[in-house]
Amino acid sequence: MGNELLSYLDRDSIIHRLTGSTKLICFLLWSTAAMLTYDTRVLMVLLLGSFILFYVSDIKLKDISFVLGFILVFLLLNNIAIFLFAPQHGTTIYGTSHPLTGSLGRYSLTQEQLFYQLNITLKYFAVIPPALLFLVTTHPSEFAASLNRIGVSYRLAYSVSIALRYIPDIQRDFKTISRSKQARGVDMSRNERLYTRIKNAGSIIMPLIFSSLERIETVSNTMDLRGFGKFKTRSWFSLKEFRRRDLIAILLSFMLFLLMVLFIFINNGRFYNPFI
């Protein structure tokens, strides 16, 4: 599974030993704290926490390097777009202007704009690592069982499990179809021009859609034949017991959330302003 993007990676770490519902609650508290605040101090604490989580999870950077690379490209484009469409948004937020360059129309690089976009970047780095960890350290079946245990309908919980399992299935189908196309002479290597490679990759989409629809029909028929949804409850093969470490993880996440709320009151808003 290690070669498939965003699929479960089996490791023996404290993050893996947490229940799926615990990881979901912690991630929701963590991401809410990061999204609501623009306080650089809080975001730095969350960023440091993200690095610590990665270290203790035993997940290697190479396991998610492709996804991280894609996200970094998107982050770069996002920062460029922010400056192009709102080059003075930072000065509007912080109420001051400290230019670093000369003015070219409405475009002038200021300390306030750089600080604002730094906070945007910190938000990404504070949220994305926990989100990736949640996906790669949570077994779909165990996560569905945990959701059902905290009150989520087992039908909905099982739908989440199938969706998570479907990610590596689509990747395997894509690789299989791609190799089949290449065996028939469709070149998708770097020897071809970028436009040709994109066009050849596009020829994989329709077979991938048809194979996906076939799998959906097979799974649906199998579940119907086994009477899925007939009863109000069901048993689960994969279920972790809620332990003290789960409580500690939730409490730590809740404390980070409270830290964010505290700094909102201290700053009289979501923004930390070092320019006044």
Give the amino acid at 2: G
Summarised one tens digit per residue, pLDDT across range 179-203 is 787 777 776 666 667 777 777 777 7
pLDDT digit string, tens, across residues 47-104: 999 889 888 888 887 878 778 888 888 889 999 999 888 888 888 888 888 888 877 7
200/63 Cα distance (integer angstroms): 27
Torsion angle in degrees (nearest 10) through CA of 239, 244, 248, 249: -20
State the first-to-last Cα distance of the chain, in angstroms, to the nearest integer: 52
Each domain of the chain, given as residue ranges in start order, spans 1-139+240-276, 161-237
CB atoms within 10 A of CB 244: 7
Listed in sequence order, the DSSP H helices in 87-239 are 89-94, 111-136, 140-149, 154-183, 194-202, 205-225
pTM above 0.85, yes or no: no
Kindly compute the dihedral angle of the four CA atoms of residues 272, 252, 63, 191, in this order, to the nearest 10 degrees: -20
pLDDT per residue as tens digits for the range 115-161: 999 999 999 888 888 888 888 888 877 777 777 777 777 777 777 77
Using CA atoms, how far residue 10 sits from 1, 62, 125, 156, 209, in Å, is 9, 15, 24, 24, 29
Nearest CA to 19 among 236, 276, 260?
236
